[in-house]
């Protein structure tokens, strides 16, 4: 088949494009290569993908309405895996307009491309941040997501609503995946593991928010990619018997599904840091700080729905995943 993977120079998009090519699919990857984080890292990922004969890269911004429309019309994709977005909870506090362009207009251009070109399945990235002020754990797709605490979270909830509308109006099968703290080799420099590793190696302080009293459902990249690859083969179908009053919020009478994709096993932040210190053989200089605006105390995914559909359960624990990241980091940045 022919796939469009958006955000192909990004962390998750890089791995997904790689896996699809390995399976024999043709992949067109797009990315705008913005400077939210080190463009050299994005280019290094693309250099790996460039060696795959089934991969083609096109530099393109999601907010380029004509560019996206022309791409869909020319390439006639079978399926779309939409992972591009302006990421980051804290960054959204100071740079709100970037999220409107990438996450709202950008998502709409993808939906329009799917509508006008008979795409058989759109899989897109949502986020665990949509659960906002929800304190009930584990987070279930049936829970309310009406109280986001960051603009980033609000845009991700909007993506789900927009997708449902297109599934309902035009019969486009859409599947939203709420990601839970993805980490691993080739990861994002703005994420805690990358920042902590760099700071500890260089002898700098690490900022530990809420004085370390936080828990995160850290999910290793291989488990995330396996879930994406599996779920894209499970195309949602319409269910005329579904009703708002009695049905799951993760489904619809339209061909629409929402899943959590996480580890299902939250880890204390201080335990996470302890595992990193052991892998590095170094002790972190910790700067204990209060909770930051937009942050939540805990994330914890209920993943039974995804397991029931795909048969995939996360397999990589935090100590093993951190060790693999540290090995990659030292190799990539030539740290002795």
Residues assigned a catalytic role: 152
Place of tokens 């936080």: 214
Euclidean distance between CA atoms 252 and 248, whole angstroms: 8
- DSSP H helices, the chain, are 11-22, 39-50, 65-75, 91-94, 96-99, 106-116, 151-170, 192-202, 221-231, 269-280, 304-310, 318-332
Residue 279's nearest CA partner among 136, 145, 183 is 183
CB of 179 closer than 8 Å to CB of 260? no
- DSSP H helices, 232-302, are 269-280
Q: Which residues of 111-132 are buried (b: 16+ CB within 10 A; e: fewer)?
A: bbbbbebebebbbbbbbbbbbb
């Amino acid at each position: 088949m022919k796939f469009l993977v958006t955000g192909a120079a990004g962390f998750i998009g890089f791995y997904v494009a790689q896996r699809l090519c390995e399976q024999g699919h043709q992949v067109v990857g797009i990315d705008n290569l913005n400077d939210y984080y080190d463009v050299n890292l994005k280019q290094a990922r693309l250099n790996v993908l460039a060696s795959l004969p089934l991969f083609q890269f096109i530099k393109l911004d999601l907010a380029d309405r004509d560019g996206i429309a022309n791409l869909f019309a020319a390439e006639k994709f079978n399926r779309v895996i939409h992972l591009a977005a302006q990421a980051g909870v804290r960054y959204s506090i100071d740079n709100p307009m970037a999220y409107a362009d990438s996450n709202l207009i950008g998502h709409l251009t993808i939906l329009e491309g799917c509508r006008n070109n008979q795409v058989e399945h759109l899989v897109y990235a949502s986020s665990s941040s949509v659960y906002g002020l929800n304190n009930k754990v584990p987070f279930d797709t049936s829970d309310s997501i009406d109280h986001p605490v960051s603009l980033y979270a609000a845009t991700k909830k909007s993506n789900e609503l927009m997708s449902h509308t297109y599934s309902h109006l035009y019969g486009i099968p859409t599947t939203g995946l709420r990601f839970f703290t993805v980490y691993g080799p080739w990861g994002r420099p703005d994420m805690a593991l990358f920042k902590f590793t760099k700071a500890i190696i260089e002898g700098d302080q690490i900022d530990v928010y809420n004085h370390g009293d936080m828990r995160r459902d850290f999910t290793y990249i291989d488990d995330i990619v396996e879930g994406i690859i599996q779920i894209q083969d499970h195309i949602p179908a319409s269910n005329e018997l579904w009703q708002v009053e009695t049905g799951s919020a993760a489904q619809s009478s339209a061909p629409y599904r929402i899943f959590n994709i996480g580890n299902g096993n939250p880890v204390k932040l201080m335990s996470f840091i302890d595992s990193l210190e052991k892998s590095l053989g170094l002790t972190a200089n910790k700067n204990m700080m209060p909770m930051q605006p937009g942050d939540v105390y805990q994330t914890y995914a209920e993943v039974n729905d995804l397991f029931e559909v795909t048969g995939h359960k996360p397999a990589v624990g935090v100590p093993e995943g951190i060790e693999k990241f540290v090995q990659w980091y030292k190799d990539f940045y030539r740290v002795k």
